[in-house]
Amino acid sequence: MNPFDAPRQTELAAAAQVCDRCGSRVAGLCQPLDSAALDEISSEAQQMTMPAHAAVFREGDPAGRIFTLVDGFAKLTRLLPDGKQQVVGFRFAGDVIGYTTLPTYPFDAELLTESRLCRLDRGQLDALLRRYPTLERRMLDLCVQELTATQEQLVTVGRRSAEARVAAFLLSLVEASRRRNRPCSVLEMPMTRSDIADFLGLTLETVSRSLTAFRKRGWIREPVHHRVELVNFAALSALAEGTDD
Amino acid sequence: MNPFDAPRQTELAAAAQVCDRCGSRVAGLCQPLDSAALDEISSEAQQMTMPAHAAVFREGDPAGRIFTLVDGFAKLTRLLPDGKQQVVGFRFAGDVIGYTTLPTYPFDAELLTESRLCRLDRGQLDALLRRYPTLERRMLDLCVQELTATQEQLVTVGRRSAEARVAAFLLSLVEASRRRNRPCSVLEMPMTRSDIADFLGLTLETVSRSLTAFRKRGWIREPVHHRVELVNFAALSALAEGTDD
DNA sequence: CGATTACTTGAGCGAGGTCAACGACGGTGG
DNA sequence: CCACCGTCGTTGACCTCGCTCAAGTAATCG
């Protein structure tokens, strides 16, 4: 059932193999490496499990480690001086967290669920980068993808109505699920209304009202807590694109 | 007067030297190269001048070239299906435009003023990257900085009031000017109210009203069109941070 | 099973959007 | 040199979307 059960391998190697298997464009740091390289990384990397709501790192911490989220969900947040927070992104199984060339992390990384992580120290990473130059190119690819996603989010927050933002968010969950190659009729949505609001530049009440509206229109279902099913994908897309009116 | 007058060098080399001179953290692609490498790039790169409002490239164009903005101002924009546009960033002299590992550019790049650009084909760039590995690291640095700036912009658009956004924008102009090592009492602001609004997720009327309010409070002056002087920096900072009330 | 946190729903209000009119500026052609 | 026009900026009046405040319900966890 769980694809991460191979007992002989570290989680990072397992994650990379999962990536290979699903042929994903995006997931995983080590996708381009051969098994010899994976073995080497396996011997270097620390695997660990952390509980829900744990902080992987905080904004301002020295950026000495890089993580792969093997299993679970995380949010990346920035804090305003007045205490309000902005979620700059969510992370899913297979995603890399905390890579930066800056001296300190520019945001908090906090887990939404109990998660399995694979940890690599900066020194180890730099050594690997030297040994496997394709990895450096991979880092750049990941950074460009992240940048493009953040720009898209900027468009959503800056120019779309409240319901359009929530619709766009739901669609991005589908995309993330597709990336992980999971059957996507019912999506996991472990983030709270407040998390979603802080991601979309809305209040939690507005997010709640939007989701209720979608439910009443029969566009979505929420069979259990923290699960959504998108029933009318087309309607949500039209709303997100502004192609409805 | 103009620091770009050295007649024997290509613009790119000149730009790099300017970067060296000002010791900037951010500006310029070729900062880490020695003069031999600069000479080599000089022989490769195409210099060009383009008029105001020209498109350097459009969203969806094959991403076959990379540009350095030697002199002038540009905006990077994304278009929504319904025609609304979001400015995802402004670019200033010394900045690199259009580097991506994606097959096509993910946004439009449009000049705000007549500008001098330095153009490098993807093939040439890749060859340079192979010859000067430090350049690859530099590209990653630039990407990380851009990502961090975009996340900051996301916080501004998602969580700040209209006036706080405009204040934050003005402060970012100071920062950009500082980066270019220009005396910053009076800033160049070649973007229209509409450009600023599309950057901040506001309407042009709201931007105009905010600037008028700042002027009436004596916080800024606009001696001529497309120039601002920040008179009360502290007040603007407090407003941007939300530390005023 | 009580306490806490998450979610929903309602009522009222205000920041900012919309629509409209007007003035300033800069280029263009007579 | 001036009349004309298009773009840009300002200001006002009005209205709406989403925020705020508040109360109540549902889920979760010791």
Asked: is B11-152 a CATH 2.60.120.10 domain? The reply is yes
Share of chain B above pLDDT 70, in %: 81
Does the CB of B23 have a partner CB in chain A at under 8 Å? no
For residues A211-220, average pLDDT:
97
Provide, in whole angstroms, the distance separating residue A234's CA from nucleotide C6's C1'.
29
Provide, in whole angstroms, the distance separating residue B201's CA from nucleotide D8's C1'.
19
In angstroms, the CA B108 to CA B140 distance is 21
Q: Which pLDDT score is estimated for B194?
A: 97
Contact between A86 and B158 using a beta-carbon 8 Å cutoff: yes
pLDDT, mean over chain B: 84
Contact between B155 and A106 using a beta-carbon 8 Å cutoff: no
For residues B25-30, average pLDDT:
46
For residues B145-154, average pLDDT:
96
User: Which CATH topology does B160-241 take?
Assistant: Arc Repressor Mutant, subunit A (1.10.10)
CATH of domain A11-153: 2.60.120.10
In angstroms, the CA B182 to CA B192 distance is 21
Provide, in whole angstroms, the distance separating residue B162's CA from nucleotide D13's C1'.
20
Residues 6+ apart with CB under 8 A from B172: none
Domain residue extents for chain B? 11-152, 160-241
pLDDT > 80? residue B94: yes
pLDDT > 60? residue A32: no
pLDDT > 70? residue A158: yes
pLDDT in tens, B58-91: 999 999 999 999 999 999 999 888 888 999 999 9
pLDDT in tens, A52-63: 999 999 999 999
User: Same CATH fold, B160-241 and B11-152?
Assistant: no
As given in the structure block, the two tokens for residue B78 are 């994304």
pLDDT > 70? residue B102: yes
As given in the structure block, the two tokens for residue A109 are 């990384």
Of B81, B144, B200, the CB nearest to A143: B144
Asked whether strand C has any atom less than 7 Å from the CB of A113, the reply is no
CA distances from B234 to A77, A130, B62, B210, B241 (A): 26, 46, 44, 17, 10
Convert chain A into a string of H (helix), E (strand) and C (coil). Answer: CCCCCCCCCCHHHHHHHHHHHHCCCCCCCCCCCCHHHHHHHHHHCEEEEECCCCEEECCCCECCEEEEEEECCEEEEEECCCCCEEEEEEECCCCEECCCCCCECCCEEEECCCEEEEEEEHHHHHHHHHHCHHHHHHHHHHHHHHHHHHHHHHHHHHHCCHHHHHHHHHHHHHHHHHHCCCCCCEEECCCCHHHHHHHHCCCHHHHHHHHHHHHHCCCEECCCCCEEEECCHHHHHHHHHCCCC
Provide, in whole angstroms, the distance separating residue A159's CA from nucleotide C17's C1'.
12
Comparing every residue's Cα with the C1' atom of nucleotide D10, the nearest one is B208
Does the CB of A78 have a partner CB in chain B at under 8 Å? yes
pLDDT > 70? residue B146: yes
The three-state secondary structure class of B227 is strand
Q: Which pLDDT score is estimated for A49?
A: 93
Q: Which pLDDT score is estimated for B30?
A: 58
Cα distance from A8 to chain B (closest Cα, Å)? 34
pLDDT > 50? residue B16: no
pLDDT > 90? residue A131: no
Does the CB of A205 have a partner CB in chain B at under 8 Å? no
Nucleotides of C under 7 A from a protein CB: 6-11, 15-20, 25-26
